Structure 1
Amino acid sequence: MKHLTSALLASALALPLSAPAALAETPDGVLVVAQNIDDIVAIDPAQAYEFTSGEIVTNLYDRLVQYDAEDVTVLAGGLASDWQVDADARTITFTLRDGAKFASGNPVTADDVVYSLARVVKLNLTPAFILTQLGWTPENVDQMVTGQDGQVTVKYEGDFSPSFVLNVLASRPASIVDSVVVKEHEQDGDMGNAWLNENAAGSGPFVLDRYTPAQMVRMSANKDYFKGAPAIDSVIIRHVAEAATQQLLLEKGDIDLARNLTPDQIASMNSDEIKVETYPQAAVHFLSFNQKTDSLTDPAVWQAARYLVNYEGMADSIVKGQMKVHQAFWPQGFPGSYDETPFTHDPEKAKQILADAGVETPITVTLDVINSAPFTDMAQSLQAGFAEAGINFEILPGTGSQVITKYRERSHQAMLLYWGPDFMDPHSNAKAFAYNPDNSDENYAATTTWRNAWAVPDEMNAETMAALSETDPAKREEMYRDLQRKVQEDSPIIIMFQAAYQVAMDKGVTGYVNGATSDFVYYRLVEKE
């Protein structure tokens, strides 16, 4: 058995192991990462909408403006060196920086920017809604986004502050692709979508060498990057789903970073050769009930559920160090957050709520969950807690992509999942958790409300849009806090935790940046001693 395990590990990484008496070493100039990457559905920026795909896109592509590795809290120029805002005319004019090139060697031009933004809108895949918020449609986008001679003019419709628009343009689908290369690989009018889900055509700090779904990603440094070549020559991200295997590989020296260790594993680390870094995250974790399931439509079930989650029990054990109790849709630490946590584990109160409402139990519900730590452990905790009130979960584990695809199809009953903002403005999460004006099956929306078939009350829909256009910052933040209170009190989405992300790494690794969202994971500054 010992020989079989060693063979599997060596095979998995395709790297030679050192002699038994010494730790293995990863190659000089190569950062080797073990990570569960099976949530990736797409890596084309016009389609990528998963956490891991966001990390990949960020390292391969640039945007006009972006949050970058040096300071992930500052919106800075990316492919644009500067910009001029005309709020009255709802127009922003960007000047492209000189010398920026794509991995192909082609210069970044205004035509590439115009093509890239219009491509997202015309393909109309999952993340397109982020850009179409600006009033862009397949019919008008060619008039709304124009450019020539190193300048791009962006027009928008709606009562938005310019800062909101800039945050939209700093989001993942606003990544700029090499239009010359992409057009060469177009098939049947797909604007290169199939090709870009296996390859890349960006100007970012890294170039994609190889992507094999649910196996590996290999990127090499872009030596001509406009901010300078990355400090590391290449990054290999290997799909290692099992946390225990990641720990073993790190301890043996076969990898440099382990991205998915459990709290127990983190606590057990005692090697002087390994360090653990903790990064606050913007993602919130929730339990949701699909309103297409009749037994889950009574608001009493939603309210009782809030008292059947063992928040503190999980926070002190299975998600310790990785999550903290948070019960509102906008994460703590960001303007407009609502940080009250009124719900505790109280099965007797939950049973009383159900009894008072005349809800008949037992209720049997399937619960979809990603088949990796800590999600399976969280599902078992929920299963035990809900059973105390006669709500019986049948846990259905699946890969990340399987679970997310099912969620998007609205074919689940209950779902344990997480959500991160698409851009750093509270409207990003408000639209996901407090807005759904058209609940029809035909009106696909990349929101938790639509995916759970929750027809949001008209007043809440109206308040969400009013907050978006509010120009007074203090009043706007209070409107978002009010929306969070309402969702917290009465919705089929039970928000439980805010993530804190821990990464274990070789002590010689420096410069790794893991910001508050998956779009803020950067390898450009990484060095290895």
Structure 2
Amino acid sequence: MIKLFKAALLAAALSMPLASAPASAATPANALVVAQNIDDIVSIDPAEAYEFSSGEYVTQTYDRLVQYDAPDVKTLAPGLATEWVADDAARTITFTLRDGVKFTSGNPLRAEDVVYSFKRVVALNKAPAFILTQLGWTPENIDEMVKTDGNKVVVKYDGDFSSAFVLNVLAARPASIIDAVTVQANEANGDMGNAWLKANSAGTGPFVLKTFRPAEIINLVANPDYFGGAPAMKTVIIRHVAEAATQQLLLDTGDVDIAKNLTPDQIKSLAGKDTVKVETYPQAAVHFLSFNQKDEALQPEAIWDAARYLVDYKGMTDSFLKGQMQTHQAFWPSGFPGSLDDTPYSYDPAKAKQILADAGIKTPIKVTLDVINSTPFTDMAQSLQASFAEAGINFEIIPGTGSQVITKYRARTHEAMLLYWGPDFMDPDSNAKAFAFNEDNSDDNYQSTTTWRNGWAVPAEMNAATKAARAEADPAKRNEMYVDLQKKVQEKSPIVVMFQAATQVALATNVEGYVNGATSDFVFYRLVTKK
């Protein structure tokens, strides 16, 4: 592993001037090398990318009309559009494009590129397409919903929601703008360039893709003409390193500048080292345990109710999850408007046993539990296996790579699933639609939500409450509606939210300017410098 990694690093270093790499440094002065588990990536095409690691990649290589950008990742800011005018009555937003922007191919940014980018997402209908199609866009009407007007783009939407909601949608990953000329030139069999974009980039972002090998490496090179300023790092190498121990070794030996998946014990062992620093970033991701309702044995609500008392929340957060997660039992993360921070459930196997007995549930019950085969997921699975066994629910742990587990989840072929969820855009509706909405549970109506993937036909009143909150114009009232909706899901759902993540990143002390926001879409390397 280390020899292969050094070979890749050496190859990247040789592509740069020798003067840029001081003899005293293991990594060149103008190269950033990251050790990270990236085997969750299914696709890097922004119309298809729907995993945490692919979201981070898209941010480095593409821009949106409006976006959350470094260093202030909590404020919606101009991106490829410098200004916009909303007409709530007409349900339109008119964007004025930034002058002088070029794609990394050298092609100029045009309003036609925006139209093609949105149309392409809707036509391909990949996993994240629902983020845009919820605006009422279809393959049949997209030409009428998004139009050009010189250097302006007029976006029309159809739905009971405000323009503020629409702007958050258009700041999301699938709304990334691609180079239509380049992508169309690389179409194959009518795929709108999908195959080509799985190995190439075609954006305006601060970096351009040089190499992508799944579960191995992402190599980015700087875009010197980026409208936000050229990155100081000429090269960013994100190397897939699944083992936390290997990540720490590479950081200790100076072979990488950043290690992203260290365990709490490893983080603790770094204290006092003058070559490494640790930074903690609250994350929007919530971690949950879910039961597939396509399995008749898992349909009794008593199993859902008992499960909430069989998670050893404190035991995990006080030990192997310390510093990486906090107990959180609602679908919208703490720290954002509209969050529910009450944690009414604690580990109580006696109460869980009583719930099952009162419902006439015969134990023991054998349930398979799919889990990503890396830390901390395997440790969490083992803790759940031990605590649930106290009430006669016996988990058989099935480990797999991130892509294997997620693919199985999308196919609804699991029994129980240990996974995480991050909002697709920074609006409570993003998670509400994932955890509290499913009006059509049929197998042929694929939806990128936890409810559909777990085969849960959400009660009609909960579906109605989700739609009502999305449409509410008054911000304070809207937040109250989301708090109430979270209480309902918290009390009665086959999806048990357990934790909210916090990311601890270990960096070489000479690395400055790294930005890690609440989601993977808010990871930025363009401001990184080395002292």
TM-score tier after normalising by the smaller chain length? over 0.9
Contact (CA 8 Å) 1:10, 1:16: kept in 2 or not? no
Residue ranges of structure 2 left out of the alignment (5+ in a row): 14-22
Alignment of 1:204 with 2:205, yes or no, is yes
Task: Report the alpha carbon displacement of residue 345 of structure 1 after superposing the two structures with TM.
Answer: 0.3
Q: 2:346: which partner in 1?
A: 344
Q: 1:519: which partner in 2?
A: 521
**CA, structure 1 residues 230+460, in 2 after alignment: closer, same or farther (shift >3 Å)?**
same
Q: Which amino acid aligns with 2:176?
A: S
1:119-134 paired onto structure 2 within 5 Å: 119-134=120-135
Q: 2:46: which partner in 1?
A: 45
Task: Report the alpha carbon displacement of residue 14 of structure 1 after superposing the two structures with TM.
Answer: 4.8
**CA, structure 1 residues 234+9, in 2 after alignment: closer, same or farther (shift >3 Å)?**
closer
1:26-425 paired onto structure 2 within 5 Å: 26-270=27-271, 271-425=273-427
Q: Which amino acid aligns with 2:330?
A: A
Task: Report the alpha carbon displacement of residue 7 of structure 1 after superposing the two structures with TM.
Answer: 4.0
Give me the whole-angstrom Cα distance separating, in 2, the residues matched to 1:183 and 1:6: 39
Q: Which amino acid aligns with 2:326?
A: K
Q: Which amino acid aligns with 1:457?
A: P
Q: Which amino acid aligns with 1:265?
A: Q
**CA, structure 1 residues 163+33, in 2 after alignment: closer, same or farther (shift >3 Å)?**
same
Contact (CA 8 Å) 1:209, 1:220: kept in 2 or not? yes
Q: Which amino acid aligns with 1:184?
A: A
Q: Which amino acid aligns with 1:370?
A: I
Q: 2:511: which partner in 1?
A: 509
Task: Report the alpha carbon displacement of residue 148 of structure 1 after superposing the two structures with TM.
Answer: 3.3
Q: Normalising by structure 1, what TM-score?
A: 0.97
Task: Report the alpha carbon displacement of residue 23 of structure 1 after superposing the two structures with TM.
Answer: 7.9
| Corresponding residue to 2:442 among 425, 431, 440 | 440
Contact (CA 8 Å) 2:257, 2:507: kept in 1 or not? yes
Contact (CA 8 Å) 1:513, 1:520: kept in 2 or not? yes
SS in 2 for 1:367: strand
Q: Deviations over 1:186-216 (max 9, x none)?
A: 0111100010011110000101111111110
Give me the whole-angstrom Cα distance separating, in 2, the residues matched to 1:365 and 1:412: 10
Contact (CA 8 Å) 2:370, 2:397: kept in 1 or not? yes
Task: Report the alpha carbon displacement of residue 122 of structure 1 after superposing the two structures with TM.
Answer: 0.8
Task: Report the alpha carbon displacement of residue 292 of structure 1 after superposing the two structures with TM.
Answer: 1.2
Contact (CA 8 Å) 1:85, 1:93: kept in 2 or not? yes
Contact (CA 8 Å) 1:284, 1:499: kept in 2 or not? yes
Q: 2:492: which partner in 1?
A: 490
SS in 1 for 2:144: helix
Contact (CA 8 Å) 2:289, 2:416: kept in 1 or not? yes
Contact (CA 8 Å) 1:54, 1:519: kept in 2 or not? yes
Give me the whole-angstrom Cα distance separating, in 2, the residues matched to 1:337 and 1:47: 29
**CA, structure 1 residues 23+267, in 2 after alignment: closer, same or farther (shift >3 Å)?**
farther
Give me the whole-angstrom Cα distance separating, in 2, the residues matched to 1:165 and 1:6: 46
Residue ranges of structure 1 left out of the alignment (5+ in a row): none
Q: Deviations over 1:318-361 (max 9, x none)?
A: 11101000000000010000010000000000000000000000
Contact (CA 8 Å) 1:46, 1:125: kept in 2 or not? yes
Contact (CA 8 Å) 2:2, 2:250: kept in 1 or not? no
**CA, structure 1 residues 92+15, in 2 after alignment: closer, same or farther (shift >3 Å)?**
same
Give me the whole-angstrom Cα distance separating, in 1, the residues matched to 2:426 and 2:487: 20
Q: Which amino acid aligns with 1:123?
A: L
Give me the whole-angstrom Cα distance separating, in 1, the residues matched to 2:356 and 2:527: 54
Task: Report the alpha carbon displacement of residue 367 of structure 1 after superposing the two structures with TM.
Answer: 0.3
Contact (CA 8 Å) 2:5, 2:239: kept in 1 or not? no
1:460-479 paired onto structure 2 within 5 Å: 460-479=462-481
Identical counterparts, % of pairs: 71
Q: Which runs of 4+ in 1 moved over 3 A?
A: 5-17
Q: Deviations over 1:271-292 (max 9, x none)?
A: 2100000001000000000011
Task: Report the alpha carbon displacement of residue 63 of structure 1 after superposing the two structures with TM.
Answer: 0.4
Task: Report the alpha carbon displacement of residue 229 of structure 1 after superposing the two structures with TM.
Answer: 0.4
Aligned length: 521
Aligned-residue RMSD, C-alpha? 1.4
Give me the whole-angstrom Cα distance separating, in 2, the residues matched to 1:9 and 1:105: 32
Q: Deviations over 1:366-395 (max 9, x none)?
A: 000000000000000000000000000000
Task: Report the alpha carbon displacement of residue 10 of structure 1 after superposing the two structures with TM.
Answer: 3.6
Give me the whole-angstrom Cα distance separating, in 2, the residues matched to 1:131 and 1:6: 42
Task: Report the alpha carbon displacement of residue 15 of structure 1 after superposing the two structures with TM.
Answer: 6.7
Give me the whole-angstrom Cα distance separating, in 2, the residues matched to 1:390 and 1:13: 50
